[in-house]
Chains A and B, each alone.
Chain A
Amino acid sequence: GEDVEQSLFLSVREGDSSVINCTYTDSSSTYLYWYKQEPGAGLQLLTYIFSNMDMKQDQRLTVLLNKKDKHLSLRIADTQTGDSAIYFCAVVYSSASKIIFGSGTRLSIRP
């Protein structure tokens, strides 16, 4: 069945780049999203990419999509303390009839 996997934790030094990875199982993905969740809050859309794209850049955020390997990554340049949060990868599957969220990656920032 469809599945979306992420590593649970990532720790980076302030100012470094963070790379959060996501793998999925079904090649019929159509839309792929990255959401950010801060403590006590709902999920906030960060960025998204369509399955016919390889890369998308938006200020400090870069999304890379490798369809062959079914791998999605989110790179945050110049990571700041305000980037501390849980990051969720979400994949919309064929015919836009289902969305699967990953388990979330908790990003912590070291001084």
Chain B
Amino acid sequence: DAGVIQSPRHEVTEMGQEVTLRCKPISGHNSLFWYRQTMMRGLELLIYFNNNVPIDDSGMPEDRFSAKMPNASFSTLKIQPSEPRDSAVYFCASSEAGFKNIQYFGAGTRLSVL
């Protein structure tokens, strides 16, 4: 398997624009996680899905953030409108089943909002 695939690897946008980050989990994994990494706050869990259903979105910072998982092989994280403080590296990870199984991380999307 190619591992968790994220796109784009880098995104530069202007404040106010909509940003969509994409993730393809490892085939056969039932859980998908979205994280944000910044120097100030470290690695934060934003939301996670089990069998395509959002289980806990308490880490999503604001209503400007939304995540979907329309099927087992694809998820998106959308920011609308984007703000400079959203600049960070966003990681997607997947596991066979929840937190008790190893999470495999994608390479991340580095987002810069100008």
Contacts and interface: CB of A to CB of B under 8 A. Distances in A.
A96 B55 CA distance: 13
A98 interface: yes
B45 interface: yes
Contact of B91 (A42, A48, A104): A42
Interface residues of B, number: 17
Contact of A101 (B43, B106, B107): B43
A101 B43 CA distance: 7
Interface of B: 4, 42-43, 45, 56, 91, 93, 98-100, 102-108
Interface of A: 30-31, 33, 35, 40-45, 48, 88, 92, 96-99, 101-104
Contacts of A30: 100
B104 A45 contact: yes
Nearest to A97: B99
Given A101-B43, A103-B42, A44 B105 contact: yes
Contacts of B98: 96
Contacts of A33: 102
Nearest to B102: A45
Given A96-B98, A96-B99, A42 B45 contact: no
B37 to A, nearest CB: 9
A99 B106 CA distance: 17
